Amino acid sequence: MLHHTVLRVVSKLLIPVIMLFALYVQFHGDYSPGGGFQAGVIFAAAIILYALLFGLDNTLDVLPSGVLQGTAALGVLLYAGVGITTVLMGGNFLDYNRLAADGPTGQHLGIFLVELGVGITVSSVMLLLYYAFAGRGSRP
Amino acid sequence: MRFSQLYNYEIAIFLSMIGFYVLVSRGNLVKKVAGLSMFQTSVFILYISMGVVQDGTVPILVDGVRVYSNPLPHVLILTAIVVGVATTAVALALIIRIKEAYDTVEEDEIHEQDRSF
Amino acid sequence: MISSAVTLQLPALQVALPLISAPLGLLLRRHRLVWALAVVVCWMSLAISWLLLQQVLAEGTISYAMGGWAAPWGIEYRIDAVNAYVALIVTGIASVVVPYARRSVEQEIDEGRITYFYVLLLLCFTGLLGMTVTGDAFNLFVFLEISSLSTYALISLGRDRRALTAAFQYLIMGTIGGTFVLIGVGFLYVVTGTLNMADLADRLPEVTQLRTLHTAFAFLVVGIGLKLAMFPLHLWLPNAYAYAPNAATIFVAATSTKVAVYALLRYIGSVFGPVISYEDVPFGEIAIILAVIGLLSCSFVAIFQSNVKRMLAYSSVAQIGYILMGIGLASKTGLMASLLHLFNHALMKAGLFMAVGCMFYRIGSVRLDDLRGIGHSMPWTFAAFVLGGLSLIGVPLTVGFVSKWYLVLAYLEQDLWPLAFVILFGSLLSVIYVWRVVEVAWFESPSPRAAEAREAPLAMLVPTWILLLANVFFGVQTELTVGVAGLAAQILTEGLR
């Protein structure tokens, strides 16, 4: 844990902005470059920045690794769940056109949900990786 | 003349050879992983550069632009990058466990310990 | 009507089912529950692949458009007799190994990690099935990496610290292999502008003389060769098999190299087609030469191993030599022999490793010294080992005989009798290494550990015997395997069209 006042103040200002940017990349991904992978990594980067400055223990209080394992699994399930839903609605696996009455709306909905799943999983896994490596070093 | 036309491939070959050389010649496991990442990255550059279309622009629909670069190799390589990240993560995790078990990350020292074991 | 709708979705479910079960397992947490889930999923997958095979045999090739995107643009799952057959091998082995794994894993792996073991196993299963059913060159790379990454982690769960270095070594070599596949696929895309295998097969004949194509061929063969442990690219295999947890060894040994062989067959037979693979590029000759060297040298090395798992691992490399010998011949009989040996080797090697796993469960070691006299204290387990050994040697009435018979036939067909002799000589070498174990286990006085050992628990013994009885069953009743393998070989010699 570091006690640099400047770093702490600046990062407190920056972290919300980084998170917001991650959400922008996530939800604007179907119009411009972006999507779940990038957004997930950016979001995780914000939390990793927090962990670097305020310590791993504080971060673990907010996001325990057990919870992250759950969200990582949930993201994949969301992705696969969209696939199964399209199958149940009579289309092929991940055939988004079936999700809504008209094709383009269905496409939007499908991409949105799938990318959300990707984003959740990627950011959880990135944080879990960070925990796995950072946690080791602190042991005697 | 030829160099200037195909320089992207030459850079990719050059990078991959550096990566491969580091991978083969170094005994330090972390350096091996660095070499491996470099080798993979050279392939990413190969893929991305082959999607370029002469005078093409970023593949986002904009009025008045006709020629776009081919976005498919970029999409493919995004997947490959994720695979590369996952591989590096698994490799580093293994190295940490190896360090805990053997107390070294040098390949020859590990072999030494296993032989006497 | 509902049943026909389900039938249409089977190719996607074959991959999606294990894919969904992996995160579900992570959420369940309790390892007994995850185990039960894994068993159910494997059995359902087996049922799906059986239905797919029936469908393929009745109606011909199935094409499934992922996400509803039509074939050359979207990802296509394309199932014909070749991959329906390979999927049946993978799911069949998984259905027997996972029930067996429970006791073995509970003993070998820390309580907290057992859940991860099953999740990784399911992911590996997903990757292998994905490689099998996909009809898209790049998709195959992605699934290859999914299965490889989970295999590295599975191997590193072994108790022995050498499992870690074995996993690392496999990771380095496997990633080089995977990256080579990626380069090969990239070159194919450069020359044709497509990634769909059927589409590639259509377009490649127009560009056969391009050097890029031959480079792509070389990268793909070397990359996949690393995965299937083609001699001399097999160096990762003995350590990985020897130090992985027993259940992981059984699963990986019986399925992962087989699927890699399938990928090789798919590329040389369907994508490049026999003309490019065997006439423009001397793949046949290279494969046969490497196979013969690998077969003889690894059988020879196996004789001198003191660790039974390592011995069986070297024997695996030798057996892959047989498979490559059949592929190198470029004849229908040769390919059929190879495909038969895929199935048969999966059965016999899984059976043998399971018997060894039972012994490990009781005495905690697989070194020959500790196995002295084990035949007396664990008669059923050891009888299973002997039966598997006989199959490995190729004694009539076992599956090993069937595939070697066709392989020898294929070589005699081409008047290559010296190579047919090599096949028989390889069997002779396997007699020696199997006999070493039998001699130690039956004719020597028991080691302290072996004397105290009891028979393995039924939960492990029953799956072992199921596989070994399958060895005998398919050795006698050859209609199904020979029929399907013949059909698959037909498809591969004709190319995709």
All partners of chain B with 3 or more CB pairs under 8 angstroms: A, C
Query: In chain C, pLDDT over 90 holds for what percent of residues?
Result: 49
Judge if ipTM > 0.90. Answer: yes
Tokens 């990793």 belong to: A48
On chain A, the residues whose CB falls within 8 A of the CB of C12 are 83, 87, 92-93
Q: How far is CA C220 from CA C17, C185, C268, C302, in A?
A: 29, 7, 9, 29
Residues belonging to chain C with any Cβ–Cβ distance to chain B shorter than 8 Å = 138, 141-142, 145, 149, 152-153, 156, 161-162, 164-165, 167-168, 171-172, 175-176, 178-179, 182-183, 186, 189-190, 195
Cβ within 8 Å of C, A 31-90: 69-70, 72-77, 80-81, 83-84, 87, 90
pLDDT of residue C495: 61
Rounded CA separation C487/C497 (Å): 14
3-state secondary structure of A49: helix
Q: Of the candidates A72, A77, A92, which has its C-beta nearest C20's C-beta?
A: A77
pLDDT of residue C186: 92
Test the C interface: residue of B15, B77, B83, B111 with most C CBs within 10 Å: B83
Q: Of the candidates B43, B90, B97, which has its C-beta nearest C149's C-beta?
A: B90
Kind and range of the H or E run holding B90: helix B72-102
Nearest CA in chain B to C189: B73
Range C405-430 average pLDDT? 89
For chain A, what percentages of helix, strand and coil (3-state, to nearest 5) are there? 80, 0, 20
A133 with B93: Cβ contact below 8 A: yes
At A13, the pLDDT band (50, 70, 90 cuts) reads very high
A80 with C16: Cβ contact below 8 A: yes
**Domain locations along chain A:** 5-137
Judge whether residue A131 has pLDDT over 80: yes
- pLDDT per position as a tens digit, C185-213: 999 998 888 888 888 888 888 887 788 88
What DSSP character marks residue A100? S
Which amino acid would we find at residue B57? T
Q: Is A114 on the interface with C (CB under 8 A)?
A: no
pLDDT of residue A139: 46
Rounded CA separation C182/C450 (Å): 49
pLDDT of residue B4: 62
pLDDT of residue B108: 87
Tell me how far the alpha carbon of residue A59 is from its chain's centroid.
Answer: 16
Range C23-41 average pLDDT? 91
Q: Of the candidates C162, C164, C182, which has its C-beta nearest B80's C-beta?
A: C182
Query: Quick check: C396 and C142 in contact, CB under 8 A?
Result: no
Rounded CA separation B58/C482 (Å): 54
pLDDT of residue C497: 42
pLDDT of residue A109: 87
Nearest CA in chain A to C16: A80
Q: Give residue B83's domain range.
A: 2-116
Judge whether residue C262 has pLDDT over 70: yes
pLDDT of residue B116: 61
Query: In chain C, pLDDT over 70 holds for what percent of residues?
Result: 99
pLDDT of residue C95: 94
Judge whether residue B72 has pLDDT over 50: yes
Phi, psi at C61, each rounded to 5°: -55, 135
| Rg (alpha carbons) of chain B, rounded to whole number | 20
Helix C399-413 and helix C332-363, axial crossing angle in degrees, nearest 10: 150
Phi, psi at B28, each rounded to 5°: -75, 125
From A38's Cα to the closest Cα of chain C, the distance in A is 19
A83 with C16: Cβ contact below 8 A: yes
Q: Of the candidates A33, A37, A129, which has its C-beta nearest B89's C-beta?
A: A129
Judge whether residue C38 has pLDDT over 50: yes
Judge whether residue B19 has pLDDT over 90: yes
Higher pLDDT, C267 or A94: C267
What DSSP character marks residue B28? B
Helix C137-156 and helix C162-192, axial crossing angle in degrees, nearest 10: 180
All partners of chain C with 3 or more CB pairs under 8 angstroms: A, B
Buried b (16+ CB within 10 A) or exposed e, B86-96: ebbbbbbbbbe
- pLDDT per position as a tens digit, C39-95: 999 999 999 999 999 998 888 888 888 877 777 788 888 898 898 999 999 999 999
From A6's Cα to the closest Cα of chain B, the distance in A is 32
From A25's Cα to the closest Cα of chain C, the distance in A is 24
Query: Quick check: C245 and C162 in contact, CB under 8 A?
Result: no
On chain B, the residues whose CB falls within 8 A of the CB of A129 are 89
Judge whether residue A137 has pLDDT over 60: no
Q: Of the candidates B76, B83, B91, which has its C-beta nearest C168's C-beta?
A: B91
* Structural domain total, chain B: 1
Q: What's B43's domain CATH number?
A: 1.10.287.3510
Range B55-79 average pLDDT? 82
Rounded CA separation C429/C296 (Å): 8
Q: Of the candidates B39, B50, B94, which has its C-beta nearest C179's C-beta?
A: B39
Range C305-322 average pLDDT? 92
Neighbouring-strand partners of residue C134: C77
pLDDT of residue B3: 56
Rounded CA separation C87/C139 (Å): 16
Range C225-239 average pLDDT? 89
Give the number of C-alpha atoms closer than 13 A to the C-alpha of residue C493, restricted to the C-beta side.
Answer: 19
Judge whether residue C6 has pLDDT over 80: no
Q: Of the candidates C20, C22, C64, which has its C-beta nearest A92's C-beta?
A: C64
On chain C, the residues whose CB falls within 8 A of the CB of B35 are none
Query: What average pLDDT does chain C have?
Result: 89
Range C224-232 average pLDDT? 90
Of C19, C16, C77, C87, nearest to C52 by C-alpha is C87
B93 with A32: Cβ contact below 8 A: no
C68 with A69: Cβ contact below 8 A: no
pLDDT of residue C1: 42
Rounded CA separation C171/C165 (Å): 10
pLDDT of residue B2: 53
B98 with C165: Cβ contact below 8 A: yes
Range A81-85 average pLDDT? 88
Residues belonging to chain C with any Cβ–Cβ distance to chain A shorter than 8 Å = 5, 9, 12-13, 16, 19-20, 22-24, 26-27, 64-68
